[in-house]
Structure 1
Amino acid sequence: MLVTALVGAQEQRSDYVVQVPLTLSGEGPWYRLELPMALHFAGRFGDLRDLRVFNAEGEAQAYALTLGSAQHSETRTETAVKWFPLHSQADAAQAVPSIRVRRNTSGTLVEVAPEGASVNAEEVLRGWLLDASAIKAPLYKLILDWSAERDGFQRFSIEASDDLQHWQAWGDGQIARLAFADERIDQREVSLPGQRARYLRLLWLAPQQAPALTAARLLSASSSSAPAPMAWSAALAPSDVKAGEYTWNLPLALPLERVRVELKQSNTLAPVILSGRRDGKVQWQPLARGLLYRLPQNGKEVIQNELELPAQRVQQLRLQVDERGGGLGSAAPQLTVGLRATQVVFLARGTPPYTLAIGNAAAQAANLPLTTLIPGYDDERLAKLGVAQAAAEPQVEAAVESSAVQAASFDWKRLGLWAVLLLGVALLVLMAWSLLRAPAVKP
C-alpha cells in the first residue's frame, strides 16, 4: 500500500495550478526564458522552487535559474592622427624643442614650427608631435610606421598634454624593424596607460636615429554599462487607504529592488517613507526614504517616482506621505514593483510543445547549477542560446487569477497519501503494543 501511494504521488504537470505554453526560437537544445513578474506572483515560493518545465509527454525538463546582471561592453577604435616634426638645433639636440603652434577653433593643430630658430643653425629631427584632439576616449595603444631608411631599434619618451604647455610623462616606447635574409620583423605598437590626452609628444633618446614617420594611429577604447535587467509588475491598487498612508499586499514575499509610485497630477511634491514586512504579524521595517515629484523644469516636466529597495523579502508595503508637501492627490496612487530579472534556462528533451508550470505548495527545489546544465558554460554562450517566450501577458494574468481558486481546493490525492502513511504507522504501533502486552511463555 505504501509503495502504491508513493508511486501515485509522483510529480505530475497537473500538480501545478498555473501552466503557460512556451514558444521556442533560435538554436537549441538549451533555451532561456526571462520570467515575467506575473509568473513570480503565481508561485508559492519566492525562490521559485515550485517552477518546472514539462514537454508534451509530461516529463519534467532539466533546468537552471540565473539572475540578470549588469552588462559591461567595450568598443575599441583605431584612428589615424596627424603628426608634426619637432626639430632642435644640432648643438642642443638633447633639449626639448621649443615650438610655435597654430590651432583652429576645435583645437586641431594646423601648423607646428620651431620657435626662435636661427636661419643658419643646423637642425636635427628631435621627435614628433601627434594631434589626438579628435579622440575623446582613453588611449591604449600607439601604432607607428616609418620609412625603410631606418632599421634597428629606436627608443623614445612619451609625454601627454591637453594645452601644449604642461606635459605629463607616459613612460618610454620602443619600435623596431629588423631584416635578415628573407625574414623581417616589425615592432610597431607601443602600449599607452589608458588615459585621455589631446596631444602626444614623442622625443627620441638618440636624435640622430629618429626615423621619418609615414603613419601614426591611436587605439582608443570606450566602455559602457547597462544596469541589470528588471522584471516589473502591472500597476497594483492599494488594499488599504488612510490619510497620508497607503498599504499594498503582494501574493507572496519577494526580494524587491525598486518601486514606482504613480504621480497622477502635475506639480506634485511628496516626501515619503516606504516600509515593508513579511506578513501582518511583524512590525513594519523602513525600506526607503525619498522625495517624489512631478515638476516643470526648463520648459519640460521632470518626474521622480522611483525608490530603490535593499532586495529584502517583503509581502506587504506601506507608503507614508508627508502631507506638508500637498500629498499625492485625492485618488489613491497605484504601485509598480520590480525585482532583478530571473532567467530560466532549460534543456529541451522529448516532444514539443513545452510548458512552464508553477504554483505547487508541496514542490521541492529541482534546479541545477548553470555550469552543470551546460558543460563548458560561459557568459558569451548564454547570450547565444535559443529563446523561449511565455504566452501573452493577458493569458498569464488570467492563469494567475484562476490559480487562487484552484489553490483553495483540497489536494485529495495528497491527502489520501498522508492517510495511508498514518494508517501504516498506527498499525505498526498497534503490533508493537500487542507484542509488549503478550504474556511471557513459560518453559
Structure 2
Amino acid sequence: MRIIAALVALSLSLIAAVQAEERQQDYRQQLPLVLEGAGPWYRVELPMAVHSAAQHADLRDLRIFNAQGQAQAYALLASQRESRDEEQEHGVRWFPLYSDGQQSGVPRLRVQRSTDGTLIELSGDEPATAQRQLRGWLLDASAIDAPLVRLNLSWSGGEEGFQRFSIEASDDLQHWRAWGEGQVARLSFGEERIDQRQVELPAQSARYVRLLWHSPQKAPELDVVTLRSRRQSSSPAPLVWSQPMPAQALGDGSYEWQLPQALPLERLRISLDEPNTLAPVWFEARSREQDPWRALTSGVLYRLPQDGREVRLDELALPGSPVRQLRLKVDARGGGLGQQPPTAAFAVRATQLVFLARGEPPYRLAVGRGDATSAALPISTLIPDYSTERLASLARAEVDVSAAQTVVETAPATAGTDWKRWGLWAVLLLGVALLAAMAASLLRRPEKG
C-alpha cells in the first residue's frame, strides 16, 4: 500500500508540474510596462497593439511576468456603456384651487392655455363667496421635459404640525392619474424648529401636477414652489483604435484589408482625402479565409461643404462580431474615393487590465500563445474590497509599445522543450499504468482464510 500511495503522490506532482508550467518565452510578443505611482495594484489601458498580437480575441493568452519570470495575478475589465443621472431644479408657476366651504369634492376648473400648453389663466366655476375655501394648488410643469422626482414647497401662514395632501398628474387637465400622497410639516419646540418641505415624486413626466389638501382641508399660501427633474444620459463604451491601415485594391471599386487576427470590431474609419467626396459603400467580412463573405454594414461616406464649413461622415458602426478580413465595395455612381486606395482605422471595445505586482520589476506583458487558457481572476477576487471608486484610485501602468519584443524560438530550443513536455507525460502515464497493474494484482490475490 505504501508503494501505491507513493505512485499516487508522484502522479499528482507530475500533473501539477505540467499544468503549472508557465514560461515567459512561450509567448510570442512581450511588451514592457512602465509603472506610475505606488502599487501594489496597477491599472493598465490595453492598446490596440495588444489586441492585434494576441492569438485569441478574448485575450485568454495574456500574462504579466516579473523580472524573475513569475506570472502575476491579474483581472480583465471590458469597458461598458456609462450611464449617469443628471438632476435639475425648476421654478414653476402655481395656481390656486378653490371650492365652496360646504363642498369636499375636487374643484372644477376653467382654464386657458397658450399654444405651447403653458397656463395663462385658471379660475373656478363657482362665484366668489365668503365660504369659498383654498383647497389646493395646480403646478404648471409644461416646460419640463424630464421625469419629475421631487417637489419642494415653502408656505406662509397655516397651523404648525403635519399637512397631508394628494398628488395627481395630468397632461391635458382633464384626465388625472394618482401619484400618491405627500406630507410636509412645520414643528417647533422652544427655540428648535423643524421644517419638512420636500416630497418625493414617482420619476414620471407630467405637464401639470395637482395638490389637494386633506388634513387640514384648507391649503396654506405658497411662497416658493420648485420641481426637480432627473434625466438619465448614457455614453457609449470607450474604444481603442488601430493605426490607419492601407487597403489592397481589388479593382471595380473594391478594396480589402487583412487584420492580424479576428477582432470584435465596433467601428471603422475610412480616410476621405479629397474634398467633395460622396461615396455609397457597403462592407463584407469573414473571420477565416475558408468562410464565405457575409454582409457587415453599409452607408454613405462624404466630405462636403455646407454653410461655409466642411462636414464629413467617415465612420461607420459595426456589430462587434469577430472580423479578420474586410472587403469594401464602392458605388461608382458617387465618383469613388479617389485615385489612391483608402486607409482604414479599426476600433474594438477598450479593455482594462489590473494586476497585483509581486516580486521585482521590470514587469512585462506577454501575449501570443495559441494553446493558452485564461488565467484571469474576477476583479472582486483580485481586490478583496473592490469598488468602482477604488478602481479609479489605483496606480497606473502603461504599455511601452515602442519597446515590444518578438520571441522567435530556434529549432533546437523548440525540440528540447517538446522532449521535456513529452518526457513528463510519459513518466506520468507509466506511473498510472503501474498503479493500475498493482491495483489489479491486489484484487486478484485470494483472501486468507
Distance 1:28 1:129 in 2: 58
* Percent identity (aligned): 48
Please name the residue that 1:339 is paired with.
Answer: 348
**Equivalence for 1:36:** 47
Deviations 1:312-363 (A, max 9, x none): 2222111122222222111100011111111111112233443222234454
C-alpha contact (below 8 Å) 1:133/1:199 kept by paired residues: yes
Question: Is the counterpart of residue 61 in structure 1 residue 72 in structure 2?
Answer: yes
How far did residue 367 of structure 1 move?
Answer: 1.5
Within 1, Cα distance between the matches of 2:292 and 2:129?
91
Q: Please report how far the alpha carbon of residue 250 of structure 1 lies from its aligned counterpart in structure 2 after TM superposition.
A: 1.1
Q: Distance in 2 between matches of 1:135 and 1:425?
A: 72
Aligned to 1:171, what secondary structure does the other structure show?
Answer: strand
Residues 1:138 and 2:144 are matched in the alignment: no
Q: 2:359 aligns with which of 344, 350, 362?
A: 350
- Give, in whole Å, the separation in 1 of the partners of 2:140 and 2:177: 17
After superposition, residues 187-206 of structure 1 pair within 5 angstroms as 188-205=197-214
CA deviations on 1:357-398 (whole Å, 9 max, x unpaired) are: 22344544322222322224444443343322222x5x16xx
Q: Which consecutive unaligned segments of at least 5 residues does structure 1 have?
A: 433-443
Counterpart Cα distance in 1 of 2:267 and 2:229: 36
Post-superposition offset of 1:90: 3.4
CA distance in 2, matches of 1:189, 1:329: 63
Counterpart of 1:322, as a letter, is: D
Output one character per residue of 1:209-231: Cα deviation in whole Å (capped at 9) or x when no partner: 32344543323212210101111
For residue 439 of structure 1, what is the aligned residue in structure 2? none
AA aligned opposite 1:280:
E
CA displacement at 1:66 relative to structure 2 = 1.9
Q: Report the TM-score, using the length of structure 1 for normalisation.
A: 0.78
Displacement of 1:76: 2.7
Structure 1 residues 310 and 327: CA distance shift in structure 2, 3 A: same
Seen in structure 2, the aligned counterparts of structure 1 residues 81 and 56 have a Cα distance that, compared at 3 Å, is farther
Could you say what secondary structure the match of 2:246 adopts? Answer: coil
Q: Is the 8 A contact 2:43 2:395 kept in 1?
A: yes
Note the alpha carbon deviations across 1:276-303, whole angstroms, 9 max, x for none: 2233333222222222222334444332
Structure 1 distance, partners of 2:425, 2:165, is: 89
1:313 matched to 2:340? The reply is no
- CA offsets per residue over residues 89-111 of structure 1, 9 Å max, x none? 435563526477899x99988x8
Once residues 37 and 260 of structure 2 are traced to their aligned partners in structure 1, the CA distance between those partners, rounded to angstroms, is 34
| Contact preservation (8 Å) 1:127, 1:207 | no
- In 2, the alpha carbon distance for the partners of 1:160 and 1:421 equals 75
Q: d(CA) in 1 for partners of 2:295 and 2:103?
A: 72
AA in 2 matched with 1:51: L
For residue 291 of structure 2, what is the aligned residue in structure 1?
Answer: 282
Structure 2: gaps of 5 or more residues: 1-13, 434-449
Task: Determine which of 385, 389, 393 is the counterpart of 2:398.
Answer: 389
Q: Which residue of 2 aligns with 1:226?
A: 235
Distance in 1 between the 2:327 and 2:151 partners? Answer: 58
TM-score normalised by the chain length of structure 2: 0.77
Equivalent of 1:125, from 131, 134, 146?
134
Matches of residues 288-303 of structure 1 in structure 2 within 5 Å? Answer: 288-303=297-312
Partner residue in 1 for 2:276: 267
Q: Residue 330 in 1 paired to residue 374 in 2?
A: no
Secondary structure of 1:413 counterpart? helix
Change in 2 beyond 3 A, CA 1:351/1:214: farther
1:11 corresponds to: 22
Tell me the residue number matched to 2:417: 417
Aligned residues: 414
